[in-house]
Structure 1
Amino acid sequence: MTDAEAPAETAARRTHRTGLIFGGLAYALWGVLPLYFLLLAPSGAFEIVAWRVLFSLVFCALIITLTRSWTVLGRALKQPRLVWTMGLAGVFIFINWQTYVIAATTGHVVEAALGYFINPIVTVLLGVFVLREHLRRLQWVAIGISFLAVVVLAFGYGSLPWISLILAFSFGLYGLIKKRVGPNVDAVTGLTLETAWLAPVAVVQLFVVSGISGLTFGTVSGWHTAGLLAAGAITAVPLLLFAAAARRLPLSVLGLIQFVAPVIQFLVGVFILNEAMPFERWVGFGLVWVALIILTVDMIASGRAPRRRAFEPA
C-alpha cells in the first residue's frame, strides 16, 4: 500500500465502522419497540398507531424545515407516479405497524419476532415471483426449511402464525416497493409522503376509537402524553439511522445485521415478558434459524469481494 492509499483506506474503515454503529442503533431501537408500546398503556393498538402516523408526519415536517429541504419534497410532489407509489407503500407499512402494535400489546411479541426472522425468506420469494429472479440451490433449500418451520409452528399454535406471516409479507412488499422507487426519494421525503397519505385514515381511526372507548391522549399523565407525542420520533429516528447505515455499508453487511432487531424482540418476549415457548415453538424457530444460516452462507459465498474492498462504502 502506498502512502497515498493509506489515508483512503483509513477513511473507508472509519466509514464502515460508522455505518455499523448507525445500523446497530437502528435495529436495536426497532428491537425494543414492544417495550415502548407497552409503556403506552392504557392506550390501545389502534389509538397508538393513529398517533404514530400523525406525529411521524409532524416530525418529518420539522426535519424538513430544519434542513430546509422543502424544495426536495416539492420536486417529489411533482411526480404523480412517485406520489401514488408512496401511497401504496403507505398501505403496506400501515398494515405492518398496526399488526406489530397489536402483537406487542396482546402478548405476541415472540410471534412478531418470528415475522421478522421470516422476512428475508419472503424477500427472496418476492424476488422470484415478482422480479423473476432465479434462485440458487441453497436458497431453495432455505425456503423449503422455512416452509417446514411454518408447518411445525402451525401445528404448535393450532393455526397458522398469522401475525408472523402478515408482518413478513407486509414488510416484504413494502421493501419491494421502496426498492423499485430506489434513489428517487430519500428516507425523510418517503416517510413524509407515506404518512401524508395515511393521515386521513389515522384521523378516522381516532374518531372511531373515541366513539367506542374514548381517547387516552392527555388524560392519563404527563409522561403518557409525552410518550404518545414521541411516537413520531420513535418512528423516524431508526429509519434515518438505517438510511445513514445503508449509505455506508455494503448490502451484504446490512443484510447480516438486520437480524439484531428480531433477536432482541425474541429475547424481550421470552425473558422479559415471559411469553410461552413450548417445544413446537423451539423446533419451529430452530428450523427458521437454520434456514437463515443457509441463506446467509449463500449470500456471503455468492457475493464475496476482495478483502481490501470490504471496507468500501456502498
Structure 2
Amino acid sequence: MSEQCPDSAPSGLPHALGAYLIWGFLPLYLILVSEVPPFEFVGWRILWTVPFCFLIVALRRQWSEIRFAFTDGKALVTLVASASLIGLNWFIYIWAIQSGHVYAASIGYYLNPLLNVLLGTWLLGETLTRRQWLAVSVAAAGVALLLGGALTSLWMSLSLAITFGLYGLLRKQVSVGSLPGLTVESVLLTPISLAIVWWYARQPQGSSFGKDMELSFLIVIGGVVTAFPLLLFAIAARRMDYSVIGFIQFLAPTIVFILGLTVFKQELQPAQLGSFILIWIAIALFISDLFARSRVA
C-alpha cells in the first residue's frame, strides 16, 4: 500500500482528495434521506452497494480476489467480523448525523488515526515514538474533557473511532483489496439487510423505498457514495506514501466540523470546543512526527 511509485507514475493526490471530500460532505447527503430510519437506511445502503461494487470489480477484473475471500477460511472469518464492524459503524454514523450529533461524528473520526496508532502498539507489536505517545496522551485528555461536559455524545465518538479502528485492523490481516473486500462484506451482510428492509416494509408506514421517485433515487445513490470513494482511496493508496494519506484523512472530519458550525448551525459546547482544541494539538504532534520520520527515511 505504501510502496513508492516512479516519478512518471500518475499522482494519487486527486483520488485521495476526492475520497475524503466525499466522506467529508456525506452529512449533506444523509440529511436528504433523513426521513429514512437509520437502521432501514443501512440495510438499503448495503443492498445498493453490492451491484455497484460488482460493476467496478468486473471492470477492474478483480474476481480472483473475490474467489479467494470466499474459499479461504481465515479470510472469510475475518471479513465476517469486519463486515459486522463496518455495518455497526455505518449505523452509528448515520444515527449521529440524523439526530443532530455532528460534532460527535467529527470527533470520532479525528480520534480514529490516533486510535490506530494505539491498536498497532497493543496488538501488532509496533512501537511509538515519544511524540506519538504525547499525541495520544493529549487526545486522551480531550476525550476525558468530554466526560465532564458532553457525556451523552461521548459514546458516539468513541464507538465510531473504535469500530472503524478495529475494522481497519482486521482488514490489515487479510490480503484482499479495498473494493473486493467491501464487495464480500456487503454480500455477507445482504441476508441481514434483506431481513431489515423486509421488516420495515411490513410496518404500517411501509418501506421508505418506493414511496416517491426522488427519495428512492437518493436511497439508490447510497450504494454509489459508499463504493466510489473507496475506489478512489484504493487508487490513491497504491500511488502515494501512506503517511501522506494519513495527513489527508483529517480533511473529512474537518469538513464535518465546519458543516456542524455553518450548515447545521449546532451549538458548540465549551467541553466540545476544548476537546477539539486538544485533539487538533494531538493531530499536529502526530503529523509533525510523520514528517520528521519521512525526512529521516
TM-score, scaled relative to structure 1: 0.88
Gaps of 5+ in 2: 1-5
Deviation at 1:208, TM superposition (A): 3.2
Q: Which amino acid aligns with 1:214?
A: G
Deviation at 1:69, TM superposition (A): 4.0
Distance 1:137 1:66, change over 3 A: closer
Counterpart check, 1:24 vs 2:20: no
Taking the aligned partners of 1:72 and 1:175, their CA distance within structure 2 comes to: 18
Deviation at 1:159, TM superposition (A): 4.2
SS in 1 for 2:131: helix
Taking the aligned partners of 1:61 and 1:202, their CA distance within structure 2 comes to: 17
Instruction: Report how many aligned residue pairs link the two structures.
Output: 291
Distance 1:68 1:180, change over 3 A: closer
Equivalence for 1:142? 135
Counterpart check, 1:269 vs 2:260: yes
TM-score, scaled relative to structure 2: 0.93
Equivalence for 2:206? 214
Deviation at 1:68, TM superposition (A): 4.5
Counterpart check, 1:91 vs 2:84: yes
Equivalence for 1:293? 284
Taking the aligned partners of 2:206 and 2:86, their CA distance within structure 1 comes to: 25
- 1:24-103 alignment, distance < 5 Å: 24-103=17-96
Equivalence for 1:312? none
Q: CA contact under 8 A between 1:154 and 1:160: conserved in structure 2?
A: no
SS in 1 for 2:12: helix
Gaps of 5+ in 1: 1-7, 307-314
Percent same amino acid among aligned pairs?
Answer: 37
Comparing 236-245 and 186-195, the one that deviates more? 186-195
Q: Which amino acid aligns with 2:121?
A: V
Q: CA contact under 8 A between 1:54 and 1:202: conserved in structure 2?
A: yes
Counterpart check, 1:282 vs 2:258: no
Deviation at 1:112, TM superposition (A): 0.2
Q: CA contact under 8 A between 1:55 and 1:231: conserved in structure 2?
A: yes
Of structures 1 and 2, the larger Rg is shown by 1
Taking the aligned partners of 1:256 and 1:95, their CA distance within structure 2 comes to: 26
Q: Which amino acid aligns with 2:22?
A: L
Q: Which amino acid aligns with 1:140?
A: W
SS in 2 for 1:285: helix
Deviation at 1:102, TM superposition (A): 0.4
Q: Which amino acid aligns with 2:215?
A: H
Deviation at 1:125, TM superposition (A): 1.1
Deviation at 1:40, TM superposition (A): 1.1
Equivalence for 2:236? 245
